[in-house]
Amino acid sequence: MSFNGANFAADSVVLANGVAMPTTYVSPTKLVVSGTASQVGSIQFKVQQPAPGMVIGNSVNLQVAVPTVSIALTPSTASVALGASRSFAATVTGSANTSVMWSVNGVAGGSSAVGTITSGGIYTAPAVMPAGSTVAVTAAAAASPSTVASATVTLTVPVVVTVSPGTTTLLLGASHSFSATVTGSANTAVTWSVNGTTGGSPAVGTITSGGVFTAPAAMPVGSTVLVRATAVANGTSYGGAVVTLTSPPPPAVSLANARFLEQTSFGPTPATLAKVQQMGQAAYLEEQFNLPETVIPVLVDNSMGTLRQWALHNYTVAPDQLRQRVAYSLGQIIVTSANKLIYADEILPWLRLLSQHAFGNYRTLLLEVSKSPSMGKYLDLANSVKPGVAGGANENYAREIMQLFTIGLWQLNPDGSTTLDAAGYPIPTYNQATIQQVSLALTGWTYATAPGATSVGLNWEYFGAPMITRAQFHDMGSKTFLGVTIPAGQTVEQDLESVVDTLMNHPNTAPFIATRLIRLMVMSNPSPGYIQRVADVFVNNGSGVRGDLKAVVTAIVMDPEARQDVPTVNGGRLKEPILQTAGFLRSLNGQFTSGQQLTYMFDYIAQGVLAPPSVFNWYSPLYHVPKSSLFGPEFQIYTPSEAASRGNLMYHLLTTQGGDSTLDLAPFQPYGNDMAGLVEAANQILLYGRMPEAMKTVLINAAAPGYDAKTRIETVIYLTILSGQYAVQY
């Protein structure tokens, strides 16, 4: 209580009915007194100024009465759904004690029949009670229990919204219909939202007023969105559904067509797979036979390095892929090399002959290769002369045209198996005397005379035209070899044709060439039946023609063993580096660029482009898989160190794009956060659906920890292309 007056001092005291009260001095005009009246009645207040000179001021009377306690309850009316809760607040005035006591229908704290209420005023409606019933929630002031306030609560059936289906998985860009059921209200209308936005948005998906949800076109795979339906009758009642977004599964690749293209090209591309699917294998093969030949360029700089760059680029982009694959295979039978032919113009005649005659006749190819200045230099046929003062016949080409180009070392049965003598030993096909006789028949060839020059003798190297003959250097005697005698007096050209005819008609040539081409294009260990079927076509294309390479190639790739899509124990062939890398780039719609600087890397992995180390090719055609009886020529250049270097090259191609090579990882992008989808994409694009389940698990475990989608994609692709499943052409 405050007293206002004048001349108050710090020691002034307020008297109540003569009793000194606790007094606080505020100022000369104000005192504050504290205390409690003990009874109803009049109290006389005076201010006393203590001694010396004690002074008592005038008196003021104050009437003390009993206080009035009141209580108010908020809200005073409410609707509460059965089983739901609602908070009430009680405000007490007229008393320092503001606590209240709660009851429902007169029962302190309520009951399960009418609902319960906490000491804090939270009312919970009963679970079961006739809808429309009412109860009274009452608060009584603790200071005056007879002072009460009540609120009327109308019990209602709750409004419940149920969305169906409650969960679903949806492809990006796809649509799905949801339905909403509203109970507890005559108004069954709802409003739809996605992630809290009415109608949704392009970022998270949209939904119509009828509940048709359309997933966004792009969003991290595995993300979820919440589709919600809210009751129009009650904005706090809603139901929801969780939608998990996923990418469309990678399209399945036809294993049959992919294997066909692995055998007839430098690897399938998305475009060639689609084309074979549309046309069929036979029609596609015929189209390839009829495509114009890719022109091999004349290089102004005459650089072997530039030609090697072009060759690697051409393997991946040439439209006449079948011709390129056959020419590449023939070039591993009839070999020359940049190791000796160091300028581009020296090896170009050989390259052009392989391309021109890939679908022609093997006899014509042999004849033209024998006249080629490329072979003239590489195997020393140019300027090989009859015995005498000028020298003697060079035996290199005579040996290799038999050993490697036609009949091989050992006599063969029509099915390619080795013919054995009575003691069980292989029978040699020829001997040194045979080589000497053939070398005499091949004397008298020299390089063409260069433009502007004149010559009647042996010429120095010129590669602009086939070799020419010089009769004076040719051995004119008869020659006997392989059961045939060439009569004396024939011209240089006639003797060459006699040699080629003898070799073409030898019973070994058909199974020998059939075996080599099958191993280079389809599998390393063909069955005897497969070899014989192809050899029979080499002998007779159906029209009485021997050596028809178009017919032979068709027989190789369309044979039932080639078209057997279920791997056999001895099936397949190891891909050499050029085929593995070119095939990888093509599978991802990529290429070696025309100006790439990668050819040197193939030197490190034992397949120098256009540069095999010997006339036997990059690897021996008779090499076996280590510790096995199976043939596996390509395994000879797949040592541990070369395998590691090959892996480094593949990693470079995968992760370093631009000047040297290109590839398109777009088919994998939708699955950067979807490990199962990512591995399945690698399975389809790279392995054509043949990935074992155990391998899928390994890839998921290896790539899942990657810190971003790019890392995970590269990890899965890299491990796939290093696997035996990819390294072997099945």
Residues 90 and 141 in one domain: yes
Q: b or e along 412-435 (b: 16 or more beta carbons within 10 Å of the residue's beta carbon)? A: bbbbbeeeeeeeeeeeebbeeebb
Last residue of a domain, one of 137, 156, 175: 156
The count of C-alpha atoms lying within 13 angstroms of the C-alpha of 730, restricted to the half-sphere facing its C-beta, is 19
CA–centroid distance for 682 within its chain: 5
Q: Which tokens hold the place of 340?
A: 């000796």
DSSP designation for 360: S
* Among 206, 209, 286, 194, residue whose Cα is nearest residue 242: 194
Residue 321 lies in a domain: no
User: Residue 3: which residues within 8 A CB-CB, separation 6 or more?
Assistant: 14, 30, 31, 32, 33, 45, 47, 60
Check the CA dihedral 298-301-305-306 and report its sign. Answer: negative
Last residue of a domain, one of 507, 527, 548: 507
Residues 46 and 175 in one domain: no
Per-residue H/E/C for 386-401: CCECCECCCCHHHHHH
Residues 453 and 546 in one domain: no
Residue 379 lies in a domain: yes
The identity of residue 338, as a single letter, is: A
CB 379 within 8 A of CB 340: no
CA distance 542 to 551: 9
Q: What is the pLDDT of residue 132?
A: 67
CA distance 107 to 114: 9
Residues 24 and 51 in one domain: yes
**Unique residue bearing structure tokens 């206080």:** 67
* Among 723, 533, 520, residue whose Cα is nearest residue 632: 520
Residues 466 and 478 in one domain: yes
Domain of residue 23 covers: 2-64
Residues 500 and 528 in one domain: no
CB 114 within 8 A of CB 107: yes
* Among 247, 201, 207, 242, residue whose Cα is nearest residue 225: 242
CATH number at residue 117: 2.60.40.1080
Q: What is the pLDDT of residue 145?
A: 93
Q: How many residues does the chain have?
A: 730
The identity of residue 78, as a single letter, is: A
Q: What is the pLDDT of residue 652?
A: 96
**Residue pLDDT, tens place only, 640-680:** 999 999 999 999 999 997 789 999 999 999 898 889 999 99
Residue 305 lies in a domain: no
**Residue pLDDT, tens place only, 33-87:** 888 777 778 888 898 888 677 888 888 887 866 668 999 999 999 989 888 999 9
* Among 485, 276, 516, residue whose Cα is nearest residue 408: 516
* Residue percentage of the chain with pLDDT more than 70: 98
CB 605 within 8 A of CB 649: yes
Residues 176 and 127 in one domain: no
* Among 619, 617, 612, residue whose Cα is nearest residue 340: 612
**Residue pLDDT, tens place only, 15-28:** 888 888 899 999 99
CB 66 within 8 A of CB 37: no
Residue 94 lies in a domain: yes
Give the chain's largest Cα–Cα span.
171
**Residue pLDDT, tens place only, 379-423:** 999 999 999 977 899 999 999 999 999 999 999 999 999 999 999
Q: How confident is the model at residue 246 (pLDDT cuts 50, 70, 90)?
A: confident
**Unique residue bearing structure tokens 């794009």:** 657
Residue 693 lies in a domain: no
The identity of residue 645, as a single letter, is: S
CB 146 within 8 A of CB 106: no
CB 533 within 8 A of CB 555: yes
**Residue pLDDT, tens place only, 427-485:** 999 999 999 999 999 999 999 999 999 999 999 999 999 999 999 999 999 999 999 99
> Would you list the DSSP string of 21-64?
E-EEEEETTEEEE-----SSEEEEEEEEEPSSS-EEEEEEEEEE
Residues 56 and 118 in one domain: no
Last residue of a domain, one of 46, 64, 82: 64
Average pLDDT score over the chain = 95
Residues 502 and 375 in one domain: yes
Least confident interval from 29-33, 458-462, 484-488, 682-686? 29-33
The pTM (predicted TM-score) of the whole model is 0.76
CA distance 86 to 644: 73
* Residue percentage of the chain with pLDDT more than 90: 84
* Among 131, 102, 130, residue whose Cα is nearest residue 116: 102
**Residue pLDDT, tens place only, 596-620:** 999 999 999 999 999 999 999 999 9
**Residue pLDDT, tens place only, 124-163:** 999 887 666 899 999 999 999 999 999 999 998 889 999 9
Q: Which tokens hold the place of 648?
A: 């480094």
CB neighbourhood size of 334 (10 A): 23
Residue 691 lies in a domain: no
**Residue pLDDT, tens place only, 318-352:** 999 999 999 999 999 999 999 999 999 999 999 99
CB 556 within 8 A of CB 359: no
Residue 571 lies in a domain: no
How far CA 150 is from CA of 71, 124, 374, in Å, comes to: 10, 16, 113
Residues 57 and 178 in one domain: no
**What is the count of structural domains for the chain?**
5
Residues 165 and 150 in one domain: no
Alpha-carbon torsion angle 628, 634, 639, 642, nearest 10: -170
Q: What is the pLDDT of residue 425?
A: 97
CA distance 563 to 267: 16
CA distance 87 to 117: 9
CA distance 1 to 15: 13
Residue 348 lies in a domain: no
Q: What is the pLDDT of residue 544?
A: 98
How far CA 652 is from CA of 318, 430, 582, 640, 645, in Å, comes to: 23, 47, 13, 19, 11
Check whether 371 has a pLDDT greater than 80. yes
* Among 404, 418, 383, residue whose Cα is nearest residue 503: 404
Q: What is the pLDDT of residue 683?
A: 98
The count of C-alpha atoms lying within 13 angstroms of the C-alpha of 516, restricted to the half-sphere facing its C-beta, is 26
Residues 379 and 446 in one domain: yes
* Residue 372 phi, psi (nearest 5): -70, 135
